[in-house]
Structure 1
Amino acid sequence: MTRDAIDRWVLAGVAGLCALSGVAVLAIPVAAHAGSLSGSQESLAIPTWLFLVTGGGAVGASFLLASFVTDRTFIRSVHSWHRRRALPARAGLLAAGRAIGVLGLLLAILVGFLGPPSPQGNLAILLVWVGWWAGFTMSSYLLGNAWPVLNPWRTLARSLPAVGRAYPDRLGAWPSVVALLGLIWIEIVSPIATDPRALATLIVVYSTLTLAGAVVYGSEVWFRRADPIARVFRYYGRVAPLTTEDGRLRVRLPGSALTETRLVDGWDEVGFVIALLWGTTFDGLV
C-alpha cells in the first residue's frame, strides 16, 4: 500500500473518531427525532448508546468508503484478484457438454413437432423458455458462461466444412443487435413463443441460418460477432465469478471482468448492450 493510501486510511480513522466523539458530546441526553414527508416529528424511545453507535458508524463508514473508492491501488488489487484451479477430466466434460447441447436441441425440435399442441402440455415450451432462456441465463451470470461448450450449433459447425469468407467489417455486431431484438419480440409479443409447432419451426430456421453463417464466415467469427445468443451469454458471463483460461478454471470476483478494456468499443457494441438491457429490464418488470 502506498504512502498516500496509508495517509487516507489514517485521516479516515481520525475523522470517524472525531465524528463519534462529537456526537457523544452533543447528544447528552437528547432525544432522537423521526421526520416524515408531512413535516411532523416525534421523539423515538431508543437507547442513547444505539443512537451514538449508529450515527457515528454511518459517518465513519462514509469516510472509509470514500477512502476505498479513491484508492486506485486498492481498486486495482481487488479487480485483479483471481485464483486458478485445474479442471479434472476436462476432455470428458467438454464431450459431455457438447452432447447435452445437441441432444437438447434435437429434443426441443422433436417434442415441439410431435408433442401435444397445447403450450401447457408440450415440453418444448418449458425446455426453451424456462429451462434454457431463464434458467441457463441465470446460471451464466451467477456461476459462469458454459455456452461455448453447450452451444449445439457450434458443435454441429465443427463437423461441417468451412468456406472461410471474410466477415464484412462494416456490419460489425449490428446483425446480432437486429437478431436479438427479433428474439425479444418473439418471446414477448409474438404468438410463436406459446405455439409448440411454430417454436420448433423457428428453431429449425434459426439453426439453418446459424450453421450457414458459421460455414461461410467460420465458427469463431460468427459466434463472436454475429450470433445474438452467444453474445448474450458472453456478456452475462462477464458478471460471473467463474471462467476458463488456458484450460484451467479461473475464480474471480463477480463483475471484475466488466473493467476489461475494449469490452464495449463501438456503436454496434453499445447498441447490443442497450438492446440486452432493455430486454432484461422489460422481462423483469412484466
Structure 2
Amino acid sequence: MTQSEFRPQSNEIPGQQLPYPAQQSDMDPAPDSDLSNYKPAGKLIDKVAIITGGDSGIGRAVAIAFAMEGADVAIVYNENTDDARHTQRLVEQKDHSCLIIKADVRNAAACQAAVQQVVEQYGKLNILVNNAAYQMAQQSIDDLSEEQFRRTFETNIFGYFFMVKAVLPHLNEGDAIVNTGSIVGIVGNPILVDYASSKGAIHAFTKSLAIQLGKRNIRVNCIAPGPVWTPNIPGTMPEDEVKNFGHEVALARPGQPEELAPAYVLLASSEGSFMTGSIVEVTGGKLG
C-alpha cells in the first residue's frame, strides 16, 4: 500500500503526544500530503503564491498542489526548518520554485518583509494563503492563560490581518486570498475555546474583506477543515483526544492534508471565479 492509498480510520490512530512544535516526520502514522492521487490541470500556470504555515500539514499539501498546477510558491514558517526544507524539496520535484521564509506572522514588519522578499524573487504575487495557526488544548477556561489567549489570537487572526495588509499592494484583478478557518469556529470546542474563537473571527474577517475587495475583483474565501491529521494534533492535544482522532465525523476518520488541497486550488484559481466570501467546509461530515 502506498502512502497515497493510506486513509486510516480513527481507530487506527494511536494515542501519542509530541513536543510542540511537532514535526511531521515524527507522527505515527505519517500524514498523507504527497499529492500522489492529485490530477493537475494547469489551473495556476504563471501564478505566484505565498502560503503561511507552509512547512507541514495542510500548508505543505497546498504548496505541492499549487506547484503541480503551475505556480511558483513561497512558504512562510516559524520554527521547523527541517519540515520547511522537506516541503521545498517536494515542491521542487514538481519542477517549480519554492522559496522558504522563516518569519513570525505575529509581527507586522516580518510579514511585510516576507512579502517583499517574494516580490523581489518572482516579480509579482497573485495568491495569499493564510494558514499559520496556533492552538493548545486546555480542559478549563481557568487553565487558559492570558498569555496563551493572546498568542492564539495574534497568530490566528492578527497574522492574517498583517499578511493581507502586506500583499494587497501587489494583488491585481483576478487574484485571490484564501484563509484557513475551522469547523470549530462554527460549532465550538470545549478544550479549544481560544482557538475556536479565533477561527470564528477568521470567518467574519473573510466575509467582510470579500465585500470590501469585490470592487477590485479580488476574491477572498475560507476553507473550514474538520479533523485533519497534521502535526498540530499530537503536538497540542491530550493523548486521549489523539487516540481515535476523527471518530466523530460521518466518514469515521480524520482527513489527510492531501484531501484538503484541491479545495484551496479551486478557491485560488479561475475555477472559483464566482466564489467570494465563502466558508467552504471540508470536514468528513462533522456537522456539530
Q: Classify the TM-score, shorter chain.
A: under 0.3
Larger radius of gyration: 1
Q: Which has the higher contact order (CA 8 A, sep 6+)?
A: 2
Write 1 or 2 for the structure with the bigger share of strand.
2
Write 1 or 2 for the structure with the bigger share of helix.
1
How does the TM-score come out when normalised to structure 2?
0.24
